[in-house]
Chains A and B, each alone.
Chain A
Amino acid sequence: MKATIQAANAQGRTAIIPFLTAGFPSLDTFWDTLAQVDAAGADIIEIGIPFSDPVADGPVIEEISRESLAKGVSLPWVVNGLLERRGQFRAKLVLMGYMNPFVQYGLEKLAADCAAAGVSGFIVPDLPLEETPEFRKAIAPRALSLITLVGPNTTTERMQSYAPYSEQYVYVVSVLGTTGGMNAHLDAIADTMRRARSVFNLPLALGFGLRVPEQLNSLPADARPDAAVIGTALLQHIRAGKTPESFLSPWRTTSRIA
């Protein structure tokens, strides 16, 4: 995934990391939608594993998660679906989900099955550094990655604590809030980005509250991310009956000043 982001950057653009909740917009159309997101130029796709109690998510993703659960979406449904479609996606795939469904699936089985299904890694929003050893131990033999999340209130010292355990890319949460939240002040985002840049020798992905590519251009050049994570806005766009392509095309062409 690191190489994927760097390849996008080498083409002079910001890598695109769309987020799609499993089972959205419906059980039947999810896999087609995933394929459309892939075809629309996603570099990495985060597949959201729905959970009943998603504390890091805002109202849009929580509601969509509940709808998916009501339709019967589960982690095994996602993993089996990916296994059947292995090799069909150009983008790297990451599962983003809360700890409990992963624990119930069994962390070692999760690692084995996800490796077989072509998944590259995981984002677990309720797994801070101190609780990661068990998860990392389970996924390491399968060469899967656990993506580090840092936020505006993560001190530089704490980022340094994370650094030895971080791989592929680092997810920088733009705001003290939940997914889809209001935008933070640009100065605050720039500060977080610069501090993360000084600590991590990895590409930085910025997320939480991104809607349009212009948001990235309003950041100072040295504080711009290597990748952009777009979740809530994309889901709302699809829910309004529009295509992933029409949402992602302006992101695809966003030039990046190195």
Chain B
Amino acid sequence: MCRPRGLFTFSFGLPDIATAWWCVWNRACRQGKAVVECAHILQAMDTLPHTERPGYFGEFGGRYIPETLMPPLFEVQEAVEKILPSEEYRSELKQLLEDYCGRPTPVTPCRNLSKELGFHLYLKREDLLHTGAHKINNALGQALLAKKMGKAHIIAETGAGQHGVATATAAAEFGLRCTVFMGAKDVERQAPNVQRMKLLGAEVVPVQNGSCTLKDAINEALRYWISHQADTMYVFGTAAGPHPFPTLVRELQKVIGTEARAQMIARIGRLPDYVVACVGGGSNAIGMFHPFVADKEVRLIGVEAGGTGEPGCENSAAINLGTPGVLHGARMMILQTADGQICESSSISAGLDYPGVGPEHVHLHSIGRVHYGIAYDHEALQAFRRLSQAEGIIPALESSHALAWVFGHASEIAPGSHVLVNLSGRGDKDLAHALHHIHLD
């Protein structure tokens, strides 16, 4: 019997034929066959286009990684299918998110800005979470999964350091060893977060390869995982990477949208007209959007980082300015040369500075369900300042991109509309950087 939609805890967002295959596969797994043997069944799918295989969102996703990484990915997948939906795991995670992280986070109406703008602006306050951003939802969830899988060691990549800090925090809480891979350039640029990770007990490995940034940190973490898979779980930081990470990260981040949806209904008696979130790899946005995808009347807006606005690769807007390709294990939109070499991305916001966007976003873009806009560095800085001064809330430069889109499109938003922005993180971390660009008198 196929899993009935709605009754099953985890909706994988796959088309129907894929659902049917998922059923065959899952049945085989339930009959006690090893996951690896279940993969054997996948072989029969040879005649299917890849768009209809598990791990794909439309034409995007998949598992483009070395064969030696398939067994650990099967192991994670098995945990996603068996441990993640279990009552024991779910209740333990829920309790931790409440007691340790501060969930649920509130939805804050922006009283002053709403008057100025002529529509109702609300913020989902992920900035109030422990460690100051949504990243902890995922890191804690994956670290708990790792613990239940019997892994003693978790590894992570980090760019700005936020996911690294969140993972180091979760590792400390669960008594796991933690190694964080970070591009050597980022280690220099983000010294305070490096110190935080070290204080939390994590080992920080500066990655000297390639462009010495986030994408190289991911490469190095994948390489490390190949050789240390027996005792190690890779806690992937964004809704990208090989299957099942895009699904796993979304499942752990969708608490944002689930809470916000109920909070908006409780507050205004209906759904918001717009839901807006910034998109780097896409984890805060997919977590916010996913519970709203079926609500066709809600306009979903993802905001990419346009960088300086100069042409070429000086941006992080892979959906708007990139092309389809394969990076870090998935088919997605990426910034690349005509020959398929990956570009270095650029953004004033380190957390959006990634040359790809996760496969589920690319799919939501391709079917027209989510509109993906762009905010440039200078617009994000203006929004950073405007929210701070109007509402007394300092937003992360990442979240400032989402706000910048709203401010920039205010004239197109009907008066009286209800606009919900995911404030994915707090901006204290960005203060020194932002003050290079804005003058406070």
Q: With the chains together, A11 CA to B67 CA distance in Å? A: 32
Inter-chain contact B66/A126, CB cutoff 8 Å: yes
Inter-chain contact A153/B66, CB cutoff 8 Å: no
Q: Which of B40, B47, B64 meets A160, CB within 8 Å?
A: B40
Stretch of B86-94, B218-226, B244-252, B294-302 contacting A (4+ beta carbons < 8 Å): B218-226
A12 within 8 A of B: no
A246 within 8 A of B: no
Q: With the chains together, A168 CA to B2 CA distance in Å? A: 40
B229 within 8 A of A: yes
Inter-chain contact B336/A100, CB cutoff 8 Å: yes
Chain B positions within 8 Å of A217 at CB level: none
Chain A positions within 8 Å of B43 at CB level: 129, 161, 164-165
Chain A positions within 8 Å of B11 at CB level: none
B99 within 8 A of A: no
Beyond A56-B66, A100-B336, A150-B67, is A133–B46 a contact (Cβ under 8 Å)?
A: yes
- Cβ < 8 Å to A, chain B residues 46-83: 46-48, 50, 53, 55, 62-68, 70-71
Inter-chain contact B222/A55, CB cutoff 8 Å: yes
In the complex, per-residue mask of B315-326: 1 if CB is within 8 Å of any chain A CB, else 0: 000000001011
Inter-chain contact B341/A173, CB cutoff 8 Å: no
Instruction: Tally A residues with Cβ within 8 Å of B.
Output: 51
| Range class of the B interface residue count | 35 or more
Chain A positions within 8 Å of B53 at CB level: 130
- Cβ < 8 Å to B, chain A residues 109-148: 125-131, 133-134
Beyond A55-B65, A55-B219, is A158–B39 a contact (Cβ under 8 Å)?
A: yes
Q: With the chains together, A59 CA to B219 CA distance in Å? A: 11
Inter-chain contact B340/A131, CB cutoff 8 Å: no
Chain B positions within 8 Å of A103 at CB level: 325-326, 340
Inter-chain contact A55/B229, CB cutoff 8 Å: no
Chain B positions within 8 Å of A178 at CB level: 223, 226-227
A177 within 8 A of B: yes
Inter-chain contact A155/B36, CB cutoff 8 Å: yes
B96 within 8 A of A: no
In the complex, per-residue mask of A175-187: 1 if CB is within 8 Å of any chain B CB, else 0: 1111001000000
Inter-chain contact A153/B325, CB cutoff 8 Å: no
Q: With the chains together, A69 CA to B42 CA distance in Å? A: 36
Beyond A62-B209, A104-B340, A128-B63, is A53–B42 a contact (Cβ under 8 Å)?
A: no
Inter-chain contact B68/A176, CB cutoff 8 Å: yes
Q: Which of B39, B50, B334 meets A133, CB within 8 Å?
A: B50
Chain B positions within 8 Å of A149 at CB level: 66-67
Chain A positions within 8 Å of B397 at CB level: none
Inter-chain contact B63/A130, CB cutoff 8 Å: yes
Inter-chain contact B339/A99, CB cutoff 8 Å: no
* 22 pairs, CB–CB < 8 Å, chain A vs chain B: A51-B340, A53-B216, A55-B223, A56-B226, A62-B209, A76-B339, A104-B325, A104-B340, A105-B340, A127-B64, A128-B64, A129-B39, A131-B64, A134-B50, A151-B67, A152-B68, A154-B70, A155-B36, A161-B39, A161-B40, A173-B68, A177-B227
- Inter-chain pairs besides A55-B222, A100-B327, 13 sampled, C-beta below 8 Å: A51-B341, A53-B215, A54-B219, A55-B223, A104-B336, A126-B64, A126-B65, A131-B62, A154-B68, A155-B36, A158-B39, A176-B68, A176-B229
Name B residues whose Cβ lies closer than 8 Å to a Cβ of A.
34, 36-37, 39-40, 42-43, 46-48, 50, 53, 55, 62-68, 70-71, 209-210, 215-216, 219, 222-223, 226-227, 229, 323, 325-329, 334, 336, 338-342
Name A residues whose Cβ lies closer than 8 Å to a Cβ of B.
51-56, 58-59, 62-63, 66, 69, 74-76, 98-105, 125-131, 133-134, 149-155, 157-158, 160-161, 164-165, 173, 175-178, 181
